[in-house]
Amino acid sequence: MLKVIGVKALDDLFADVPPSQILKQGLNLPHGMTEPELKRWFNLIGKNNQPVSDRPCFLGAGLYYHEVPAAVKAVVTRPEFLTSYTPYQPEIAQGTLQVLFDFQTYMVELTGLEVSNASLYDGASAVAEAALLALRIKKAESFVYVSDGVHPEYRQTIQTYLNPQGHKIREIGLKGTETDIEQLKTDLWPNSVVVVQYPNFLGTIEDLAAISKICKEKNSYLVVAVAEAMNLALLPTPASLGADICAGSAQSFGNILEFGGPHAGFLTARFEDIRQMPGRIVGETVDRNGKPALVLTFQAREQHIRRERAASNVCTTQSLMANFASAWLYFKGGKGAQQVAKDGAATAHFLATEIQKIPGFKVETIRYANEFVVRPPSSGFADFMAEWGLVAPYDLSKDYPEFKDCVLVACTELTSLEDMESFISACEEFSTKGHAGKVHQKPTELPNWIKARIPAAIQEHPEVDLVRYYTDLARKNFCIDNGFYPLGSCTMKYNPKVHEEIAFADAWANLHPAQREDEVQGALQVMFDLEHWLQEITGCHTLTLQPAAGAHGELTALLMAKRYFADRGEHQRVNVIVPDSAHGTNPASATMAGWKTVSIPTDSRGNMDIPALKAKLGKDTAVLMLTNPSTLGLFEEHILEVAKLVHDAGGLLYYDGANMNAIVGICRPADMGFDLVHLNLHKTFSTPHGGGGPGSGPVGCTKALEPYLPEPRVAKEGNRYYLKFGSPQSIGRMKGNVGNFGVLLRALAYCKRNGKEGLERVGRIATLNANYLLARLKNHYPVAYDRLCKHEFVLTAEPLKKKYGISALDIAKRIIDFNYHPPTIYFPLVVPESIMVEPTETETKKTLDEFVDAMLKIRTEMETNPDVFKNAPYSTPVSRLDEVKAVKEPKLVKK
């Protein structure tokens, strides 16, 4: 392969990296483990967790322990869904598109609004995005009024998202356990945004009708947050009570707890507001033969097209977790979901009644469904419950001083008779004067005032039909396990099977993030250890694992930089500099951080144009965001000079880790001078992409920036791992819980399996494979920049288009007929008719040669049979789609 490329040694491929940057001793990390060793290690560490599945669980507080049927898990974790990318090529992604379309339909049915997106990172960030959406619609410097009944983590996330753009948040207090409607009436300014939760964090079903009436009178928008989405199957829809936007977590539908994530966030709104909505949207259209088919639509809102003017910076979100929700709802239907909600509520009401009989205990929540606040006779109740062997209910002392010592008790359909008996016995023991009755049968009675809605129009299906439906959809999806996936900039490497086996073990899958610290030591250790590996790989002083995807990491880092400059009194630094080849997420993140984007052209070698950079650097420079290697697949040859220029100007240097795969084990971003670094665990660290998420975007930083990291952070004292809060300079929360833990777990498995030697081969082999493909293709397809590439390279079909009338799109569609996923096309924008190829290190020479053969065959077809391109692909379930119709005649839910 080296001979074909024309170099002598593997390390010659890195001649463009400054010699001072090459890691002479390699990475200071342990050796790799065999697969049995890896499984053994995770088994052992998993024993330090006490999952909720084998004890009575009364912990909810935003995440709920519901049944995840085996069939749901089996169908969704099929490789066709697990190992595919975001469905950019609809002809080979109808499976993913269909389950996301189903998800949209179900969220619309459950909330009563008109349109839904195809998921967001989680409940907390979805509600923050909803508040931003409402502010865009109101087009004013509006206030956002947030009820204290909204989940504390949601409130913190809203704060983090809204502050940088200068929006003001006002608190609406509680009266007992419900939003103080009188205060809202008095305080609300016209043309504002109001956020309440339904049912709220303390379990109360807020009087949405009364709240929305006040909002309407003041021409204000009502955002309804939802944490326990199962209750949407039971209660009147938020829209029927006046909600303008609904957002929250769909975790209750088939998403395992997984120590807090990944979980699907959702957002529904009115059709008239669609162009301001964040996130992917799937729509129905027809293919060339008039056959109905699905496609990502209204894409002009999104960062990859609108860049700094995008509705949001989100890219990868939670497709796989939305898929779990879809499968769950397809299986159980609207009626089944309502029954689950009824079971939880009936159990909660029965339990509450029994608890009230015990002297000294009081139920504080009014109008609740499956969750309520209990005030015990004295302090120490939560600790006592844990000692009694229960998964203790949530202790409210920390978040609500008025409910000091009180606990939030959650029931679901999984709460058994024995669980209730344990709970009551514990209460009696605690009160020492107990005389509550024995529980004889599982309660089914709901209080009269709960008027169940007409079940959501979601048809239930027998298990065998669920399995067949998904099997049929899976056949319509291309995935890594089907074949080569050279999707440039997406690093679609093979995802080892052992990671999945480890991740679904009970010790991780059924762990609740609000459990007591001593019950989750194993999970905290996984995070702590992963931080250590990532520190060594990036050279960063420290890291946060909280961001849910790459773009989320970008925003995290920019918010940290913003706080940092504010602390130094350098408010004039408002410009974020990006090369013109940057991903659209970079400028979109800059806008979300409340900053301006300045674009720098690319020079003739594909580097950043240094004179242009010098001209733009100054006292107004905040951050330079750089992808290195760049999106052209080229190492920035002047990186040390760039770093010096930015630092001399007083700015910070940010490393977009989208292309980290090229340099793992060879050189490190922090050594090059980057102050902030993000990684994409779903790219470089081989966690499956799930058809558009979950991702994970850890952010590393220098010592000077450490105080600004989001919280909580994981720390260790002696042998004890714990979550740390309390840095006054922290930017706050970027999402709920600790991060996408399930992704972190797989990434640690990847690190440990590979070890030092394995990781040091990643960048080298990825770069070897890319240069080999480039060398073999470049005499047949014009190259944008003819020099050694890193892990990917960019071809241009511009001359071919002129000569044969065949575009990059035509080539992409034709390669599908040879059973390959097409390369990335039309990105980066600086290369006309671009075709971006990234083979990754997990492909063999044989696979690469076969791909070259196919590309050469296609090249010959341009001369011998150009007409074949016009209708390609021929081998797919649907042909090319009418994307104009998808926007002009929008169909965004199943009819």
Partner 1 sequence: MRKFAKTHEWYEDLGGGKTKIGISKHAAHELSDVVFIELPDVGKKLADKQSLCVLESVKAVADAYSPAGTVVEVNTKLKDQAGLVNQDPEGAGWIAIVQLDNPKALDEYLTEEQYLATLAH
Task: Name the residues that contact partner 1, by CB under 8 A.
Answer: 275, 299-300, 305-306, 309, 826, 883-884, 886-888
- With beta carbons less than 8 A apart as the criterion, state whether 660 and 540 touch: no
Q: Kindly tell me which of 299 and 871 has the beta carbon lying closer to partner 1.
A: 299
Residues β-bridged to residue 520: 49
Please, what is the angle between helix 845-864 and helix 741-777, to 10°? 50
Is the bond preceding 601 in cis, omega lying within 30 degrees of 0?
A: no
In the complex, least distance from residue 300 CB atom to partner 1, rounded to whole angstroms: 4
Shortest distance (Å) from residue 315 CB to partner 1:
16
Which amino acid, one-letter code, is at 330?
A: Y
Report strand pairing: 282-286 vs 265-269. Answer: unpaired
Cβ at position 299, least distance to partner 1 in Å: 7
Cβ neighbour number for residue 76 with a 10 Å cutoff = 24
Answer yes or no: are the C-beta atoms of 713 and 730 closer than 8 Å.
no
Three-state DSSP state, 852: helix
The minimum distance between CB 872 and partner 1, in angstroms, equals 19
Nearer to partner 1, 2 or 887 (CB): 887
Q: Where do the H-state alpha helices sit in 139-201?
A: 152-162, 181-187
Tokens read off for 592: 């979300």
Tokens of 131: 């508040």
187 vs 883 by CB, closer to partner 1:
883
Angle between helices 94-111 and 463-475 (to 10 degrees): 130
Smallest distance, partner 1 to C-beta of residue 305, A: 6
By beta-carbon proximity to partner 1, the closer residue of 299 and 727 is: 299
CA distances from 707 to 166, 555, 563, 564, 732 (A): 22, 16, 10, 9, 11
Q: How far is the CB of 797 from partner 1 (least distance, A)?
A: 16
CB of 882 to partner 1, least distance (A): 10
Closest approach of partner 1 to the CB of residue 307, in Å: 9
The DSSP string of 823-837 is PEES-STTSTTEEEE
Q: Which is nearer to partner 1, 16 or 580 (CB)?
A: 580
Report d(CA 453, CA 449) in Å as an integer: 12
Dihedral class, residue 26 (left if φ above 0, else alpha if ψ from -120 to 50, else beta): left
Specify the residue, 211 or 314, whose C-beta has the smaller distance to partner 1. Answer: 314
The vertex-527 CA angle with 698 and 791, nearest 5°, equals: 40
- Shortest gap between Cβ of 383 and partner 1 (angstroms)? 57
3-state helix, strand, coil split of the chain in percent (to 5) is 45, 15, 45
Name the residue with tokens 């322990």: 65
Given the complex with partner 1, which of 299 and 819 has the nearer CB atom? 299
**327/809 with CB nearer partner 1:** 809
User: Which lies closer to partner 1 via its Cβ, residue 309 or residue 644?
Assistant: 309
E-state strands within 323-432 = 362-363, 371-375, 394-395, 407-410
Tell me the closest approach of the beta carbon of residue 511 to partner 1, in angstroms.
43
CB of 887 to partner 1, least distance (A): 4
Residue 226 · residue 477 · CB < 8 Å? no
Q: How many residues does the chain have?
A: 895
Taking the C-alpha atoms of residue 235 and residue 256, their distance in angstroms, rounded to an integer, is: 23
Of 180 and 883, which CB lies nearer to partner 1 in the complex structure?
883
Nearer to partner 1, 4 or 305 (CB): 305
Cβ atoms of 539 and 570 closer than 8 Å:
no
